[in-house]
Amino acid sequence: MKVKSEELKKENKNRYIDALYAALEYAKVRNEVKSFINDILTESEQIMLGRRIFIAKKLLEKKPHDQIVRELGVGLDTVFRVQKWLGGRHKGYEKVVEKIKKIVIVR
């Protein structure tokens, strides 16, 4: 389910975007990554990516798919897609989410 950024509460919008920044922090200096991301992605795209990180974290915590859909307002197909990516060949998604799960708070 595609979400328009203007329909999200500011608190949730900021949490999703910060999840993206926290994940990328491990790849490069945070301010450089923020600048780069702001230059190449729209706010909606940033939120979309940040929410995928939240989905991955909840999947790694073995949360039920329907609970993730309800809590994050995402479609079931998105949850399944993230689950597929978590099982990727290089495990990059899983490694980064595991590293950041202590600093990204998912409610």
Q: Per-residue pLDDT tens, the chain, 107 aa: give them.
A: 677 788 888 888 888 888 877 777 765 666 777 887 888 899 999 999 899 989 998 998 899 999 999 999 999 999 999 998 887 766 776 777 777 766 666 55
CB atoms within 10 A of CB 95: 11
- CA 89-43-19 angle, to 5 degrees, is 50
Q: Is the pTM of this model over 0.85?
A: no
Residue type, 62: K
Buried b (16+ CB within 10 A) or exposed e, 9-23: eeebbebbbbbbbbb
Structure tokens at 65: 């798919």
Identify whether the C-beta of residue 59 lies closer than 8 Å to the C-beta of residue 68: yes
Q: What is the pLDDT of residue 82?
A: 92
